[in-house]
């Protein structure tokens, strides 16, 4: 026997049995405690019968429609004593001002409602949008969804509202659903219920009225009730088992509101009326059988799913007769109240029933403290809404939703970057995307874009490039703000996607996952990430996932045809490379950090200490500040960008030869207790032969600080000696210093000779010297039998993905990307731009361990983070932990020497403004500074990394304002203050 043939009495008994079982665990909505309160009693006594009906009516309001709309709302409030306003599009500041004005005009405080399923950003500009519910359905930690609900309550209340028409508790089991779809938590009724409850509890614990929707279940429809009345033809047994399940669980959990949908469900009401007008569905099923006692709200009474065939006023009366407490967005307030009042006067509905519903509404108003209403301030409104916790929470939710469906051969996260030649293609984009910009942070990637309606020529150009790369990263984008289940790409673009070389392709899908089923072969990609939507965070974090900045454990909330089933999702470990995030994610206060750093950096720029600079701060492997400041040079308008590269000066010491020396030390090919003459025979029998490398690297060997090698090229009259420098290159003069300065091929020997013959200091005590670092590249070549630059490139920079960390940048990069340094009037007699500032390094062909490296903050930070990680980065060990610890510890404290091996360390005793580090830098910390205005510092105790790049030597090295201001160490102290 089919369920349809079961007598109604038996069916009602079935529901009654279920209802009694649920009653034992059902939690009553909290606001109902106020239905008989003194305040509610006083309001009821002040209202006429017509004014009481007005409390059932809520109308739509906008904060972007101008004075005429405002006047209409004020008139409606005055004339009809309506119970609430449902706000739609606008901005938060105007929203608050209007709500204050409307409240002031109302006899009874107004309930302010909003349809903000994914946050205020659904309706108001300049506010946050959290991920859509389908993305949230992939999250395994429902605590995050609870936290979102609580934060949403804070934000909604901050703009003067009290009720959110959320959560959507529909089970979306129809992939073609045009109205629910991405708004649902998914197709699993248990997960939909669990996540709906978490969301609801967060909002209600935050003091917000919530309404589950769209009762009794809008998930399995192919019609949009905004435009027509959908029909659901399932049996009552199926509806009870599936569609109603989340709503029943929410009722048991104490949800305080329920929104009824406009649906035709013959199994629940054979009359064919919309569920919003159905006594059988609202009164008999929702209230009597399921025991719901909270607010019952209609879906918008202007939607065609209910207005079609029903007259204004009449339809609103029918909605009240069916059992609704609140009529949301009626077409005509006057007709609605008039028709309802007629029904009361005729005894069709009792005044007692109306009064009970009004008391319920008033009780909800008291629960949200409208009995103590005060106008809201607009000061700091945007900061209160876009607060650090909310911004981080949005990213946490997005990260937790990322779902990896394919990861063949453990491709993700990418490893061995030095073996990869990568191209990215953003499909559905006509300019470089956020996804591609974030990919750039990890390694060199060549980017291409393909618009939705791309020409055959554009596609052929990309196809021609594909064979040159061994890894293709594809972003499939969506040009709509909401991820609908559609494919808008032209047929030719779809064909292009389906013919990609999936054997070496990673796809990040920024669209509704259902639509994957409409693209053949996409499931054959070697790596497939579902990101659910095309927002900034989804793009950014998906790119980070590919390189291991973040991990993934999302699970697909819906099935995708026969390709993937609900619950699919692989776990990917993150944290092997930088995570780019917000300060709060690393336990730092963003206000302290941003304000402190910005003010000090702006002070330095305003006082001409430097034209501009780049800063990067990372804590716990998380980049929390990565910013460019100011201009590339004075009297210019070109701003510094994060891609620009700086002359690292003496930071080259710890960034080039030193990691090579440490690696050779690990391999037993270098001994700290041996001297220069053991590796460079030229120094046999010199006065430096008995100094070992431990002493030399700790600046304890008595070496002179520096030799001005360039002066030896000059005659007394200032011209260059014949055997040193020529204006043009030749076989004898192949070393380029500048475009019109070419150094003799043997001059390097003269530099070595000058070092060899240089006198030693009288005492072997701490004295900073760069002489050894002029020799180290040659020494490393002697040990390894490899070209020095190739050696550090292959063993460090290429593996790290640090492609801007380089010597002689003018050979690789456009000059516009290289920050200029000094106007050299002593040696080169021209502005130095694109080549090393240090004269000695310039005379070494730009390749020295004393100076010569260039980089942006991001790439240099990878090497420094490797040190901070005690030798590892990207899942690979570069240097043994014991070696890093040996080189970064103080070597000769008994001689009042604070240095490590190559690395600088904090002074043994803090010397206030004369110290080389911030007061709170730990004794374990280490780093280096550079003459051009550079500072890098690592603190293992706090897992803190700090990089400061500038060109303070422009236009002259005599500009020492940066030192006098103590900008670098003052900024460093801000970092510790932000941690506190």
At 802-822, the pLDDT tens digits run 999 999 999 999 999 999 999
Going by C-alpha positions, the residue among 534, 465, 530 that lies closest to residue 501 is 465
Question: Quick one: average pLDDT of 107-112?
Answer: 98
Query: So what's the pLDDT on residue 762?
Result: 86
Question: Quick one: average pLDDT of 548-568?
Answer: 97
- DSSP assigned state of 50: H
SS3 label, residue 392: helix
Which residues, listed in sequence order, are joined to residue 807 by a DSSP beta bridge? 853
pLDDT above 70: residue 11: no
Put the strands of the sheet holding 612-619 in their side by side order. 579-580, 622-630, 612-619, 944-950, 934-939, 926-930
Query: So what's the pLDDT on residue 905?
Result: 98
- Alpha-carbon distance of 805 to 856, in angstroms, equals 7
Cβ neighbour number for residue 25 with a 10 Å cutoff: 8
Which element (helix H / strand E) includes 700? none
pLDDT digits (tens, 9 = 90+) for 686-716: 999 889 999 999 999 999 988 888 888 888 8
pLDDT above 50: residue 428: yes
Going from the C-alpha of 875 to that of each of 71, 577, 898, the distances in angstroms are 64, 8, 32
Residue % of the chain over a pLDDT of 90 = 88
Question: Quick one: average pLDDT of 158-165?
Answer: 98
Query: So what's the pLDDT on residue 24?
Result: 54
In the chain, domain spans: 3-384, 402-577, 644-854
Measured in degrees and rounded to the nearest 5, phi and psi for residue 473 equal -110, 120
Query: So what's the pLDDT on residue 722?
Result: 83
CATH topology of domain 3-384: TIM Barrel (3.20.20)
- Alpha-carbon distance of 902 to 888, in angstroms, equals 8
Question: Of residues 584 and 228, which shows the higher confidence score?
Answer: 584
Provide the mean pLDDT of the chain: 94
Query: So what's the pLDDT on residue 12?
Result: 45
Question: Quick one: average pLDDT of 970-977?
Answer: 98
pLDDT above 80: residue 3: no
Q: Are 165 and 112 in contact (CB under 8 A)?
A: no
Query: So what's the pLDDT on residue 1?
Result: 33
What are the structure tokens assigned to 364, written together? 């909800």
Question: Quick one: average pLDDT of 33-61?
Answer: 98
pLDDT digits (tens, 9 = 90+) for 255-268: 999 999 999 999 99
pLDDT digits (tens, 9 = 90+) for 450-502: 999 999 999 999 999 999 999 999 999 988 889 988 888 999 999 999 889 99
pLDDT above 50: residue 115: yes
From the options 3.40.710.10, 3.40.50.2300, 2.40.50.460, 3.40.50.720, give the CATH code of 644-854. Answer: 3.40.710.10
Going by C-alpha positions, the residue among 301, 281, 297 that lies closest to residue 289 is 281
Query: So what's the pLDDT on residue 718?
Result: 80
pLDDT above 50: residue 147: yes
Q: Are 297 and 250 in contact (CB under 8 A)?
A: no
Q: Give residue 10's pLDDT band: very low, low, confident or very high (50, 70, 90).
A: very low
Query: So what's the pLDDT on residue 14?
Result: 45
Question: Quick one: average pLDDT of 838-850?
Answer: 94
CB proximity list for 368: less than 8 A, separation 6 or greater: 31, 111, 157, 162, 163, 207, 208, 209
CATH number of 402-577: 3.40.50.1700
- Alpha-carbon distance of 492 to 448, in angstroms, equals 17
Q: Give residue 304's pLDDT band: very low, low, confident or very high (50, 70, 90).
A: confident
Question: Quick one: average pLDDT of 185-207?
Answer: 98
- Alpha-carbon distance of 829 to 364, in angstroms, equals 79
- Helix ranges (H only) for 730-811 are 747-757, 771-784, 788-792, 798-800
CB proximity list for 298: less than 8 A, separation 6 or greater: 259, 260, 276, 306, 319, 324, 326, 327, 328
Going by C-alpha positions, the residue among 597, 606, 598, 593 that lies closest to residue 962 is 606
pLDDT above 90: residue 311: no
Question: Quick one: average pLDDT of 234-243?
Answer: 96
Query: So what's the pLDDT on residue 21?
Result: 44
Which element (helix H / strand E) includes 803? none
What are the structure tokens assigned to 435, written together? 């996804």
Of 29-33, 318-322, 450-454, the one with minimum mean pLDDT is 450-454
Which residues, listed in sequence order, are joined to residue 934 by a DSSP beta bridge? 930
Of 187-196, 231-240, 469-478, 702-711, the one with minimum mean pLDDT is 702-711
Cβ neighbour number for residue 314 with a 10 Å cutoff: 12
Query: So what's the pLDDT on residue 18?
Result: 45
- Alpha-carbon distance of 94 to 64, in angstroms, equals 8
- Alpha-carbon distance of 282 to 319, in angstroms, equals 10
Which element (helix H / strand E) includes 310? none
pLDDT above 70: residue 8: no
């Amino acid at each position: 026997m089919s369920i349809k043939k079961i007598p109604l009495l038996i069916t009602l008994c079935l529901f009654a049995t279920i209802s009694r079982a649920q009653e034992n665990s059902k939690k009553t909505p909290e606001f109902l405690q106020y239905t008989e309160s003194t305040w509610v009693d006083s309001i009821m006594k002040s209202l006429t019968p017509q004014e009481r009906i007005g409390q059932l009516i809520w109308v739509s309001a906008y904060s972007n429609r101008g004075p005429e709309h405002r006047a209409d709302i004020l008139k409606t409030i005055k004339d009809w004593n309506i119970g609430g306003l449902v706000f739609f599009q606008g901005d938060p500041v105007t929203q608050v001002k209007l709500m204050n004005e409307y409240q002031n005009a109302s006899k009874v405080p107004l309930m302010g409602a909003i349809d903000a399923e994914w946050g205020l950003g659904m309706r108001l500009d300049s506010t946050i949008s959290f991920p859509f519910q389908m993305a949230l359905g992939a999250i395994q930690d429902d605590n995050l969804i609870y936290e979102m609900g609580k934060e949403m309550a804070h934000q909604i209340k901050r703009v003067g509202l009290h009720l959110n028409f959320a959560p959507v508790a529909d089970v979306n089991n129809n992939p073609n659903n045009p109205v629910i779809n991405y708004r649902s938590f998914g197709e699993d009724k248990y997960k939909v219920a669990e996540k709906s409850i978490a969301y609801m509890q967060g909002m209600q614990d935050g003091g917000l009225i919530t309404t589950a929707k769209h009762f009794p279940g809008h998930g399995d429809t192919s019609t949009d009730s905004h435009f027509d009345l959908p029909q659901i033809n399932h049996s009552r047994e199926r509806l009870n088992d599936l569609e109603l399940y989340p709503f029943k669980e929410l009722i048991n959990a104490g949800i305080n509101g329920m929104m009824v949908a406009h649906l035709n469900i013959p199994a629940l009401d054979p009359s064919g009326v919309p569920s919003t007008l159905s006594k059988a569905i609202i009164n008999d099923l929702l209230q009597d059988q399921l025991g719901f006692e909270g607010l019952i709200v209609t879906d918008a009474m202007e939607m065609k799913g209910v207005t079609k065939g029903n007259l204004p006023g009449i339809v609103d009366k029918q909605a009240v007769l069916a059992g609704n407490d609140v009529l949301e967005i009626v077409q005509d307030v006057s007709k609605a109240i008039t028709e309802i009042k007629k029904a009361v006067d005729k005894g069709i509905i009792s005044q007692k029933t109306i009064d009970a519903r009004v008391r319920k509404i008033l009780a909800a108003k008291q629960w949200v403290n409208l009995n103590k209403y005060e106008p809201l301030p607009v000061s700091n409104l945007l900061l209160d809404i876009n607060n650090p916790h909310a911004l981080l929470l949005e990213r946490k939710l997005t990260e937790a939703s990322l779902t990896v469906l394919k990861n063949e051969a453990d491709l993700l996260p990418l490893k061995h970057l030095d073996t990869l030649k990568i191209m990215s293609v953003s499909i559905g984009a006509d300019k470089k995307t956020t996804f591609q910009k974030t990919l750039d942070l990890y390694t060199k990637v060549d980017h291409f874009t393909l618009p939705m309606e791309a020409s055959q020529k554009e596609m052929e150009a990309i196809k021609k490039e594909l064979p040159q790369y061994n890894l293709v990263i594809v972003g499939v984008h969506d040009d709509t703000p909401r991820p609908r289940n559609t494919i808008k790409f032209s047929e030719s673009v779809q064909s292009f996607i389906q013919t990609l070389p999936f054997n070496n392709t990673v796809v990040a899908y920024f669209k509704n996952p259902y639509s994957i089923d409409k693209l053949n072969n996409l499931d054959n990609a070697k790596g497939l990430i579902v990101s659910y939507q095309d927002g900034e965070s989804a793009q950014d974090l998906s790119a980070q996932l590919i390189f291991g900045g973040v991990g993934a454990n999302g699970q697909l909330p819906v099935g995708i045809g026969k390709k993937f089933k609900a619950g699919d999702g692989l776990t990917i470990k993150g944290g092997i490379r930088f995570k780019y995030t917000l300060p709060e994610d690393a336990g730092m206060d963003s206000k302290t950090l941003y304000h402190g750093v910005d003010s000090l950096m702006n002070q330095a720029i305003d006082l001409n200490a430097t034209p501009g600079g780049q800063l990067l701060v990372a804590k716990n492997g998380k980049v929390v500040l990565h910013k460019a400041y100011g201009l590339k040079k004075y009297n210019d308008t070109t701003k510094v960008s994060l891609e620009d590269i700086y002359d690292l000066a003496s930071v080259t010491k710890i960034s080039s030869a030193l990691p090579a020396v440490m690696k050779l030390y690990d391999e037993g090919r270098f001994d700290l207790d041996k001297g220069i003459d053991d590796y460079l025979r030229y120094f046999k029998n010199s006065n430096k032969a008995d100094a070992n490398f431990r002493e030399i690297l700790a600046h304890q060997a008595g070496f002179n600080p520096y030799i001005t090698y360039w002066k030896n090229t000059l005659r007394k009259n200032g011209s260059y000696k014949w055997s040193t420098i020529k204006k043009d290159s030749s076989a004898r003069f192949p070393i380029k210093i500048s475009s019109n300065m070419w150094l003799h091929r043997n001059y390097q020997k003269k530099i070595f000779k000058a070092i060899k013959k240089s006198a030693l200091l009288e005492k072997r005590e701490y004295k900073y010297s760069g002489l050894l670092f002029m020799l180290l590249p040659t020494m490393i070549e002697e040990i390894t039998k490899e070209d020095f630059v190739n050696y550090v490139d292959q063993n460090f920079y290429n593996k790290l993905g640090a492609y801007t960390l380089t010597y002689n940048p003018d050979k690789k990069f456009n000059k516009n990307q290289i920050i200029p340094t000094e106007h050299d009037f002593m040696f080169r007699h021209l502005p130095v731009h694109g080549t090393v500032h240090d004269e000695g390094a310039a005379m070494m062909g730009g390749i020295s361990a004393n100076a010569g490296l260039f980089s942006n903050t991001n790439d240099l930070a990878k090497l420094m983070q490797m040190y901070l990680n005690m030798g590892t980065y990207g899942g690979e060990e570069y240097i043994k932990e014991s070696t890093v610890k040996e080189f970064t510890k103080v070597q000769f404290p008994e001689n009042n020497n604070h240095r490590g091996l190559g690395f600088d360390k904090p002074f043994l005793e803090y010397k206030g403004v004369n110290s080389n580090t911030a007061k709170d830098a730990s004794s374990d910390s280490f780093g280096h500074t550079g003459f051009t205005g550079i500072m890098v510092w690592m603190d293992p105790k706090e897992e803190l990394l700090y990089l400061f790049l500038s060109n303070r030597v422009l236009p002259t090295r005599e500009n020492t304002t940066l030192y006098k201001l103590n900008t670098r160490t003052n900024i460093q102290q801000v970092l510790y203050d932000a941690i506190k």
